Structure 1
Amino acid sequence: MMFLSKIKTFFVIGFIVLLGISLLGNWYVVGQLETEKERSATLSADLLTANTAATNLASTIEALEKEKIAAQDRADDFARMRSENEKAQANVITVFKDRIQYEPCADTPLPDDIDWLWDNSETNDDSSVSRPRN
């Protein structure tokens, strides 16, 4: 009987030790769980912040792309107008040279002729009287 009593005591002590180890393990796991829960909340907040920043960045990129397209359109319009102006200037020079070709002063250089721009738009005709544009 003594032997059975020692075995019972051994099993009871073993059970108590296992129970204690189990409780300590559970306490450790619960602590880790709380830590991971806090970390998860922090990561969720960071993810939400990053998502908001990405959305704002996408909106900014879209707005900048629209501005780029508008700027390119304005640049194309400016290039077209510049080309038209250059053609008009060349035409004015040609008309001017044709008109004075048989005049006695045709070979006389004009002072500051590079700065002259002729405007016939107000008279709407090809009269021989042109005036400089201001």
Structure 2
Amino acid sequence: MNLSIRNVLLMGSVTLLIACLLSIVYLLEVLDTQAKHYGELQSRYQTSLSKNLSLATTVNTMKLEARAAQLAADELLQAKAQRSAATIQTVTKIKEVLIYETCVDVPIPHASEWLYYH
């Protein structure tokens, strides 16, 4: 009986050892495929990260350009408003002087003070 129990135990141990080896081989294959998948995911992550950094730089550059363009537009509008006001003042002064002039062909007195060219 001892022999048969030993044989059964030996066969059980061998079967268990084979099952363990098979599960180890299976798990190593799964580990290998997961490592490949992890490498692919990491390369995708690096690609996405570099694209995001590039886009962030582009957005910051565009913001700075928009701010500079807005400042230039504001300065242009301010200069235009100043020129318009100066033109209105000049025209008003000329009209006031022309009211009292008897002849239109006569040069306007002190015209050099009002007329200017940019």
Unaligned stretches of 5+ in structure 2? 105-110
Once the two structures are superposed, what CA deviation does each residue of 1:49-107 show, in whole Å capped at 9, x if it has no partner?
0111011011101110110111011111111111111101111211111111123589x
- The aligned residue for residue 126 of structure 1 is 113
* C-alpha separation in 1, matches of 2:50 and 2:92: 62
Task: State the identity as a percent.
Answer: 23
- The two structures have a TM-score, normalised by structure 2, of 0.84
Moved over 6 A (4+): none
Q: 2:72 aligns with which of 61, 71, 74?
A: 74
Aligned residues between the structures: 111
Matching residue's letter, 2:113: D
* C-alpha separation in 2, matches of 1:126 and 1:61: 50
Q: Over the residues paired in the alignment, what is the CA RMSD in angstroms?
A: 2.2
* C-alpha separation in 2, matches of 1:86 and 1:27: 87
- The aligned residue for residue 103 of structure 1 is 101
Matching residue's letter, 1:17: T
SS at match of 2:17: helix
* C-alpha separation in 2, matches of 1:93 and 1:4: 129
Q: 2:41 aligns with which of 43, 47, 57?
A: 43
Unaligned stretches of 5+ in structure 1? 107-123
More helix by share: 2
- The two structures have a TM-score, normalised by structure 1, of 0.75
**Which of structures 1 and 2 has the larger relative contact order (alpha carbons within 8 angstroms, sep 6+)?**
2
SS at match of 1:125: helix
